[in-house]
A and B are shown apart, each in its own frame.
Chain A
Amino acid sequence: MNTVTEGRLKRPGSLEKNPRLSQWLRVESGGTVSVFSGKVEIGQGILTALAQIAAEELGIALDRIRMVAADTAMSPDEGVTSGSLSIQDSGAALRRACAHARVLLLERAAVRLGVSTKDLQVDDGSIRAAGRSTTFWECSDATLLDCEVDESAILRSPHQYRVVGKLASRLDLPGKIAGRPHFIQDMVLPGMLYGRTVRPSHGFSGINSLDEGKVRSMPGIAAIVRDGSFLGVLADREEVAISAQRALRQAASWRRTASLPNDVYAWLKERALDHRVISEKENGEAKSKAVRTFDASYTKPYISHASIGPSCAVAQFKDDKLVVWSHSQAIFNLRRDLAMALSMGEDAVVVRHVESAGCYGHNGADDAALDAALLARAAGGRPVQLQWMRDDEFAWAPCGPAMALSLRASLDSQGDIVDWQHELWSNGHSSRPGRADSPALLAAWHLSKPHERPSAINMPLPAGAADRNAVPIYDFPNQRVVNHYVRDMPVRTSALRSLGAYANVFAIESFMDELAQAAGVDPTAFRLRHLKDPRARAVIEAAARRAEWNRWKPAEGRGHGIGFAKYKNLGAYCAAIAEVDVSHEVRVSRLVLAVDVGLVINPDGVINQIEGGAIQSTSWTLKEQVKLGAGGIASLGWEDYPILKFSEVPAVEVELIDRPDLPAVGAGEAAQAPTGAAIANAVAHALGLRVRELPLTSERIVAAIERA
Chain B
Amino acid sequence: MRLRSYRAIVRNEIQASLAYRGHFLFHLAGTAIYLVIASFLWKAVFASSGAEAIGGVGFERAYLYVGIAMSLAGLIQTNVDYSLNRLVMSGDIFRHLCRPQDFMGQLFAESIGDGIVNCAAIGMPALVLSYALSGTSPPDLVNVLLFVPAVAMAFFLNFLIDFLTGLAVFPFHSIRGVTNAKDAAILVLSGALVPLPFYPAGIRSVLEWLPFQALYNAPARILADGGAGISEALPFLARQAAWAIILFVLARVLFAAGLRKLVVNGG
Q: Do A and B come from one complex?
A: no
* A residues apposed to B, CB below 8 Å: none
* B residues apposed to A, CB below 8 Å: none
